[in-house]
């Protein structure tokens, strides 16, 4: 398997180099003001509401569905569906993921961002790998259907499925980009830059891609064609729970605190939070 992976990455290296270079090519230059400066990106502070604890201790992945909130745990590798209002458990599966750092639901499957390595947080399992990959799994059982290697190499955090285009968006951490891929073969359809510290939770909303940057404690709304930052929502690094997984539902952005990476003063492990997507206040 290791030889196969090296061959796969070697074959794809030319493609990765091309898309990595292309991501820095600006599709459009920012509009300049009379002083020669780009107008500031609309920015506001989130008003975070703590909701309930996840079923397991280290939630690191969220996905929105009409009938419930999907939560992936970073250590147990279990995925849960819970009630939006109460957090009551509706469905649970054990997956063969490793260091689960993103979850999507689409085309009849679970898509798991397996970030590689488990950092000694639990006993090793035969399906663990030291590198990132995306695992396609059965929605009802959690059993692996197919494993997708990443041509850019490195780890993976956020992942989301876009029903309108039947495509997946994935964080390509090693080249600081977001990649739109075909779920059938993971062929790259588009790449845009992801400028920030630890691109994590992803979701699609009203024609834009939203990316949570865990290290920066903020969320960016991005143009999916150019990568231009359209809006920024800030979280408090001192009082709000640490951000990891993220999704959007019914006018709110939800996020969860995994309680593991760089915990801050407001850390509240296993907490699921939300804040309104719209606000009249700005910074």
Cα dihedral: 160, 161, 165, 166 (round 10)? 150
State the pLDDT confidence band at 34, using cuts at 50, 70 and 90: low
Nearest-5° Cα angle at 118, 116 to 120: 150
State the pLDDT confidence band at 37, using cuts at 50, 70 and 90: confident
Q: Can you give the pLDDT at residue 280? A: 44
Q: Can you give the pLDDT at residue 2? A: 42
**Phi, psi at residue 43, to the nearest 5°?**
-135, 140
Instruction: Give the residue among 134, 151, 243, 260 at the shortest CA–CA distance from 198.
Output: 243
Q: Can you give the pLDDT at residue 10? A: 44
36-50 average pLDDT score? 92
35-62 average pLDDT score? 93
Q: Domain ranges in the chain?
A: 2-26+39-276
CATH number of the structural domain 2-26+39-276: 2.120.10.30
Q: Can you give the pLDDT at residue 279? A: 65
Between β-strands 43-45 and 229-234, what pairing exists: parallel, antiparallel or unpaired? parallel
The fraction of the chain above a pLDDT of 70, given in percent, is 86
- Read off the tokens for 259: 């309680």
194-205 average pLDDT score? 96
- Read off the tokens for 232: 């920024």
Q: Which of 17-31, 160-174, 267-281 has the highest mean pLDDT?
A: 160-174
Q: Is residue 6 predicted with pLDDT exceeding 60?
A: no
Instruction: Give the residue among 84, 111, 73 at the shortest CA–CA distance from 252.
Output: 84
Q: Can you give the pLDDT at residue 120? A: 92
pLDDT in tens, 249-262: 999 999 999 999 88
pLDDT in tens, 236-245: 999 999 999 9
pLDDT in tens, 80-90: 999 999 999 99
What is the Cα–Cα distance from 59 to 89, expressed in whole angstroms?
14
Q: Can you give the pLDDT at residue 38? A: 78
Q: Is residue 24 predicted with pLDDT exceeding 50?
A: no
Q: Can you give the pLDDT at residue 18? A: 52
Q: Can you give the pLDDT at residue 33? A: 45
Integer angstrom CA distances of residue 133 from 127, 210, 254:
12, 21, 24
**221 Cβ partners below 8 Å, 6+ apart?**
208, 209, 210, 229, 230, 231, 232, 233
97-117 average pLDDT score? 97
State the pLDDT confidence band at 11, using cuts at 50, 70 and 90: very low
* Contact (CB, 8 A) for 258 and 57: no
- Could you write out the three-class secondary structure of the chain? CHHHHHHHHHHHHHHHHHHHHHCCCCCCCCCCCCCCCCCCCCEEECCCEEEEECCCCCEEEEEEECCEEEEEECCCCEEEEECCCCCCEEEEEECCCCCEEEEEEECCEEEEEECCCCCCCCCCCCCCCCCCEEEEEECCCCCEEEEECCCCCCCCCCEEEECCCCEEEEEEHHHCEEEEECCCCCCEEEEEECCCCCEEEEEEECCEEEEEECCCCEEEEECCCCCCEEEEEECCCCCCCCCCCEEEECCEEEEECCCCCCCCCCCCCCEEEEEECCCCCCC
Q: Is residue 158 predicted with pLDDT exceeding 50?
A: yes
Whole-prediction pTM: 0.89
Q: Can you give the pLDDT at residue 220? A: 98
Average per-residue pLDDT for the chain: 89
């Amino acid at each position: 398997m290791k030889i196969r992976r090296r061959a796969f990455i070697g074959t794809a290296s030319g493609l990765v180099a091309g898309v990595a270079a292309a991501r820095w090519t600006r599709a459009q230059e920012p509009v300049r003001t009379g002083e020669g400066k780009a107008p500031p990106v609309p920015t506001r502070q989130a008003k975070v509401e703590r909701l309930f604890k996840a079923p397991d201790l280290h939630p690191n992945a969220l996905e929105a569905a009409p009938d419930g909130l999907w939560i992936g745990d970073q250590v147990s590798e279990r995925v849960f569906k819970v009630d939006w209002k109460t957090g009551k458990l509706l469905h649970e599966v054990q997956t063969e993921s490793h260091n689960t750092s993103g979850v999507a639901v689409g085309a009849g499957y679970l898509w798991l961002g397996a970030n590689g390595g488990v950092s000694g947080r639990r006993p090793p399992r035969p399906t663990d790998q030291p590198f990132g990959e995306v695992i396609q799994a059965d929605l009802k059982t959690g059993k692996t259907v197919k494993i997708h290697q990443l041509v850019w190499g490195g780890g993976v955090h956020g992942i989301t499925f876009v029903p309108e285009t039947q495509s997946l968006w994935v964080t390509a951490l090693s080249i600081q980009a977001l990649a739109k891929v075909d779920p059938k073969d993971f062929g790259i359809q588009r790449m845009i830059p992801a400028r920030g510290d630890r691109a994590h939770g992803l979701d699609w909303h009203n024609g834009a891609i939203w990316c949570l940057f865990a290290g920066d404690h903020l969320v960016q709304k991005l143009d999916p064609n150019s990568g231009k930052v359209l809006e920024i929502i800030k979280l408090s690094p001192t009082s709000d729970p640490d951000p990891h997984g993220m999704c959007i539902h019914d006018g709110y952005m939800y996020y969860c605190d995994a309680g593991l990476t760089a915990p801050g003063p407001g850390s509240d492990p296993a907490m699921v939070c939300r804040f309104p997507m719209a606000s009249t206040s700005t910074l």
